[in-house]
Structure formats: C-alpha cells, structure tokens
Amino acid sequence: MASAVATNGSTSESAPVSSSQDSLMDDPLFLHHAENPSTVLVTQPLSRGENYSAWARAVRKALLTKNKLGFIDVSPKLQSTIIYKDTALEIRNDLRNRFAQTNGPRVFNLQMEISELHQGGVTITDFFTQLKAVWDQLQNLNP
C-alpha cells in the first residue's frame, strides 16, 4: 500500500501554510486586527528637543515592532526645512543633527548623580537598577 502512494506521486506530507501568512504580515501595509490609529505607541512626548534621543529611540522601536518604520509623519514646520533633502537618510541626519545635540548641563548632572549614588539601605539589585538607569541616560546623551 505504501508503494501505491509512492507511484501515484502523492505524499502524506503537507506544505507549510505559514510562509504565505508570514509574507503577508511582513508587508508594511498589512494591518493587524488589533491595530488602530488611536493606539499610543510611545507615551513619552518630545519636549522641545530636550529628550530627542530617548524619544527617537522609543519611536523607532515602536514603529519597527509594528513594521511601520517607513511611515513617519512630519510636522509642517519641519517639513518646510527638509523639503529639499533628496533621501530619507539625508532627512534623518538633518533632524538628528538639529535635535540630538548633547545637553552639556544634563550630562554634568548625570555624572554628578552617578558619583553621588550610594547603595545605602537598598538591596544590591535595586542599587544596580538605579545606577544602570542613570548610566543608560548618560550613554544615550553621548552616542
């Protein structure tokens, strides 16, 4: 009976169906049923460029997660200053140079906070978590 299946050319194995579903979900225009325009992807607002590095990283991660990194809306004020850029890379570099300037006083304050941080009565895990948070903020300001 096994030879009859082999001579017919049919097999009992089925082709994976997920490959077509995966390619559909990789399409940036694909909308998952749980996505909607009012979903807040980043809770931290951009405040006059002071937190640009952290905000840009959060936005990039959120859009990359949703496979929507290619769709970025620009305000009319910013749009008028970047309209003559030819590529997305030039636009990104222009915006990064404009808003990602290192904030000297903030860097100084973070360095002071690191030097003054003591474990005190907290556990080593809590102390390291506090220290790592300040380190990450400092490293984000000094790429």
Average pLDDT of 33-54?
A: 76
Does pLDDT of 13 surpass 70? Answer: no
Q: Both ends of the chain: CA-CA distance in Å?
A: 68
pTM over 0.85: no
Q: Is residue 24 predicted with pLDDT exceeding 60? A: yes
What was the pLDDT predicted at 12? 46
Residue 101, pLDDT score:
67
Q: Mean pLDDT of all residues in the chain? A: 75
State the DSSP string of 9-57.
T--S----SHHHHHHHHHSTT---TT--TT--S--S---TTTTHHHHHH
List pLDDT tens digits, range 79-127. 777 778 888 788 888 887 877 666 788 888 899 999 999 998 999 999 9
DSSP 3-state assignment of 118?
A: coil
In this prediction, residue 114 carries a pLDDT of 92
Q: What is the mean pLDDT of residues 121-136?
A: 92
What average pLDDT does range 42-65 have in this prediction?
Answer: 79
Write the CB contacts of 99 (distance below 8 Å, at least 6 apart in sequence). Answer: 49, 52, 56
Please state, for a pLDDT cut of 70, what percent of the chain lies above it: 72
Q: What is the rounded distance in angstroms from the CA atom of residue 119 to the CA atom of residue 33?
A: 47
